[in-house]
Chains A and B, each alone.
Chain A
Amino acid sequence: MKLLENPFGIHEKALAVRNQRMELISANIANADTPLFKARDLDFKSILAGENPSPMAATSPRHFETGEVQNRDGILYRVPYNSSVDGNTVEINVEQAKYGEAATQYQATLQFLESRISGIRKSLRGE
Chain B
Amino acid sequence: MLKNIFEIAGTALTAQTIRMNTTASNLANAGTVSSSEEEAYRAKRPVFRALVDQADLNAGFNTLGGVKVKAVVDSTEPVRKVHDPGNPEANDEGFVFLSNVNEVTEMVDMVASSRSFQNNVEVVTTARQLMMRTLDIAKA
Contacts and interface: CB of A to CB of B under 8 A. Distances in A.
A and B bind? yes
Interface of A: 19, 22-24, 26-27, 29-35, 37, 92, 96, 99-100, 103, 106-107, 110, 113-115, 117-118, 121
B140 interface: yes
Given A35-B48, A113-B137, A30 B113 contact: no
Contacts of B120: 29-30
A30 B12 contact: yes
**Interface SS of chain A:** helix
Given A33-B48, A34-B48, A34-B67, A22 B127 contact: yes
Interface residues of B, number: 34
Given A27-B64, A29-B119, 5 more contacts: A30-B8, A33-B67, A34-B49, A110-B134, A113-B137
A54 to B, nearest CB: 20
Contacts of B5: 22-23, 26
B113 A33 contact: yes
B113 A32 contact: no
B33 interface: no
A94 to B, nearest CB: 12
B50 A23 contact: no
B112 A96 contact: no
Interface string B93-135: 0000000000000000000110010011011001100100110
Interface string B20-57: 00000000000000000000000000011110000000
* Among A34, A100, A103: residue with most chain B CB under 10 A: A34
Contacts of A115: 140
A32 B8 contact: no
A33 B112 contact: yes
Nearest to B4: A23
A31 B126 contact: no
B71 interface: no
